[in-house]
Amino acid sequence: MLHQELARRRDPMWRWERPLLREISMYAQGLNQSDPAAVTASPEAARFQARIDAEDKIEPNDWMPEAYRRTLIRQISQHAHSEIIGMLPEGNWITRAPSLRRKAALLAKVQDEGGHGLYLYAAAETLGVTREDLVDQLLAGKAKYSSIFNYPTLTWADIGAIGWLVDGAAIMNQIPLCRCSFGPYARAMIRVCKEESFHQRQGYEIMLTLCRGTAEQKAMAQDALDRWWWPCLMMFGPPDAASQHSDTSMMWKIKRFTNDGLRQKFIDATVPQGHYLGLSFPDPALRLNPESGHWEHGPIDWEEFRRVVAGGGFCAADRLDARRRAHDEGTWVREAAAAFAAKRTARKEAA
């Protein structure tokens, strides 16, 4: 029965039917879906929702609404693609890191991101898709990944800014995912978050070193903050007022905070860190509201966000070209691994 169901799910028409999902935030840019009313219509759906309300984890063999499965496949696969594409802007600096220590740390960080992609593809596979199909979708330019990785890394300070801000924003988004209702995703995120915190610290430490260095080094750090600040705020997705369908993801406890809520947490945590570095933020409207205790920010350029999400980012074509090249160059490794596995199976069967 399970096999038949999995075979049905592997049918390409089923898998890639037009998603109900809206383009939104963070490493998964399509995590909301519509039609919350349909979600609790059947007795199974009511039982499913009761388990979620009781903070039970949903496991791959459990009954789940199709829209829940599709939402998760889309969110987890976009998250996985983002980790893999996210290796590229920083990988670009491994050979140019300013010291052996920096090179070793950056190499470890970029390898971690590759590992995150692999845990996440494995978590997505528990929902009845294959990694090969997900990778094909990415290489064909049909799958989304976080638009932040379509910005270029121009100087070494960008490696500091990415660790501090991009990984910092990712942590803000991913800590609540450790409590996501889908067990395999939640468990993958626990390990991912531990590694992300190392990434954030290594980035901040690069910024700190530059800010305590020469005037030229400090100017480099300021320039990197100026270029990465707004795109990082956009990583949390459109304002809540513009994303009408987040109710279902919240109800299913895939998502626990709204885009604006997470963005505010990130700003409140990050602004004092920037001030400690002696840097200024490229936002003249940024001010601490003494009553709420929150940092208020100026308007975000959502036009730019829409343009970059739609593939208009400076490095969008480069990123996909680099992935396609890496995939082609790795063909012999995949073939060798498959041949070895087939040989072992044949030997086992013969024995």
How far apart are CB 71 and Fe ion at their closest, in Å?
A: 21
Between 27 and 156, whose beta carbon lies closer to Fe ion? 27
**Torsion over CA: 166, 307, 309, 318 (sign):** negative
Q: Does 74 bind Fe ion (CB under 5 A)?
A: no
Q: Does 116 bind Fe ion (CB under 5 A)?
A: yes
Q: Which of residues 200-229 bind Fe ion (CB under 5 A)?
A: none
Segment interacting with Fe ion, rule: CB under 5 A, options 106-114, 132-140, 213-221, 330-338: 106-114
Between 195 and 268, whose beta carbon lies closer to Fe ion? 195
If one counts every other C-beta atom within 10 angstroms of the C-beta of residue 66, the result is 11
Between 167 and 283, whose beta carbon lies closer to Fe ion? 167
Between 58 and 159, whose beta carbon lies closer to Fe ion? 159
Q: Does 81 bind Fe ion (CB under 5 A)?
A: no
Q: Does 125 bind Fe ion (CB under 5 A)?
A: no
Q: Does 113 bind Fe ion (CB under 5 A)?
A: yes
Dihedral angle over CA of 238, 239, 245, 249, nearest 10: 80
Between 23 and 113, whose beta carbon lies closer to Fe ion? 113
Residue 21 region, left (φ>0) first, then alpha (ψ -120 to 50), else beta? beta
How far apart are CB 262 and Fe ion at their closest, in Å?
A: 16
Separation of alpha carbons 196 and 71, rounded Å? 24
Q: Does 90 bind Fe ion (CB under 5 A)?
A: no
How far apart are CB 48 and Fe ion at their closest, in Å?
A: 30
Q: Does 199 bind Fe ion (CB under 5 A)?
A: yes
Q: Tokens for 306, please give them.
A: 């829409």
If one counts every other C-beta atom within 10 angstroms of the C-beta of residue 324, the result is 14
Task: Give the count of residues interacting with Fe ion (CB under 5 A).
Answer: 6
How far apart are CB 122 and Fe ion at their closest, in Å?
A: 15
Interacting residue with Fe ion among 167, 188, 238, 264 (CB under 5 A): 167
How far apart are CB 290 and Fe ion at their closest, in Å?
A: 34
Segment interacting with Fe ion, rule: CB under 5 A, options 143-151, 191-199, 223-231, 335-343: 191-199
Separation of alpha carbons 260 and 293, rounded Å? 16
Place of tokens 């080094």: 217
DSSP structural state of residue 32: B
Q: Where are the alpha helices (H) located in the chain, listed in sequence order?
A: 2-10, 12-15, 43-53, 66-85, 87-91, 100-125, 131-139, 157-161, 167-174, 183-211, 215-234, 247-251, 259-277, 302-307, 316-329, 331-350
Binding site for Fe ion (CB under 5 A): 83, 113, 116, 167, 196, 199
